[in-house]
Structure 1
């Protein structure tokens, strides 16, 4: 008779998330999670079949915490969208190494689906229809995921900006000057400045 299961999905997800937060996404493995739980790798296979299943549990562990309640209806639609984007960004920012997993597993994540459902309701109320609504939702998701990836892997305050600002101005004048300006752009200014530009485009 098999031993009764004693670990919940939440416990498995928390252990896998701890590994990712500490060692990065590349550090996630069945062996690493088993060690985090204080059990054998073979013991972990009683709960999940493969790493991909762990990934899905982690995505839902993180994104399940996003507040998907509709913002106040009296606010303009653009402000309501910004509230939803801010909620998603704040939640994912606490675990930036998880961001790539949201691309692969977003279709199976109830958290992502609930967030998208609320955003779509706002867009529909604002008059977005058909392909325009599709593009708007995809653009918002793409912006959040892409912006967080850039902020995590190549922040404006990082070495990449310093290296680009030191390029020879005779060869890369625009890149060098822009990088020097980038040093003064904070993370919030970068993110919400880009979001404002996107929203202006969606509003045309």
Structure 2
């Protein structure tokens, strides 16, 4: 079992996926386990609460209340809240519709599709980007995602020493884009406004402040180009264009490697 103390002492080897749950002591008290409760239900409830209320409000007690069980009941299945968060991250990665990179389609199709799906998942669950790097991410869904990424990047024809950089360029870009987008949507919701209302108010605020007038002048043509479009449409188009830039960069590096 991975205790909180063990996590702090040796984080590089601490993961809920490295536990031997079958060896957990106390199995003779099975009669005390609540009926109908299992790890999957706990994790699904945690994901739902994280989506609705955010990281700050998640606790073992909050999850137990939602499941109508005692907080101590959860400890039959997990040792710490960190276990639940690590399991929740992997459950979210399970939402990615992974395809077979070796199905004969061009690697560009697979790369664009997976990067777009990755962005959508992170926007849908904005708490994930905040904590994903706190864990080893060796759960089955996380590993399947990583393996799919590596197969796609290998299919580009890049030499091995260049593949990690290409992976970072595309998927760290998608991660950063989705993090900013997801947190923007959260901020809008917290303010009681839609993204379109928030964006409109922000533009008005800039235009009403003399000291910010110069900054607005620099992007007036950009603002005009987006006139009449929703924030969601702007985000989508910006992502697609930026992803095209990333793919074009990979293509150029492949040509250089071949040359």
So what's the TM-score if we normalise by structure 2? 0.67
Distance in 1 of aligned mates of 2:217 and 2:161: 36
Aligned residue for 1:149, secondary structure, equals helix
Which aligned pairs between 1:75-90 and structure 2 lie closer than 5 A? Answer: 75-90=105-120
How far has the Cα of 1:138 moved from its partner? 2.0
The answer for the alignment partner of 2:223 in structure 1 is 180
Indicate the RMSD between aligned Cα atoms, in angstroms: 2.7
Higher helix share: 2
Is 1:159 the counterpart of 2:198 in the alignment? yes
Which aligned pairs between 1:97-116 and structure 2 lie closer than 5 A? Answer: 97-105=127-135, 107-116=137-146
Aligned positions, number: 204
Aligned residue for 1:68, secondary structure, equals coil
Aligned residue for 1:172, secondary structure, equals helix
Q: 1:64 to 1:106 in 2, by over 3 A?
A: farther
Which aligned pairs between 1:37-56 and structure 2 lie closer than 5 A? Answer: 37-56=67-86
So what's the TM-score if we normalise by structure 1? 0.83
How far has the Cα of 1:124 moved from its partner? 1.3
Q: Deviations over 1:117-159 (max 9, x none)?
A: 1221122122122331001112222122211111112257463
Q: Is the 8 A contact 1:10 1:61 kept in 2?
A: no
Is 1:195 the counterpart of 2:243 in the alignment? yes
Is 1:3 the counterpart of 2:30 in the alignment? yes
Is 1:69 the counterpart of 2:99 in the alignment? yes
Unaligned 5+ segments in structure 1 are none
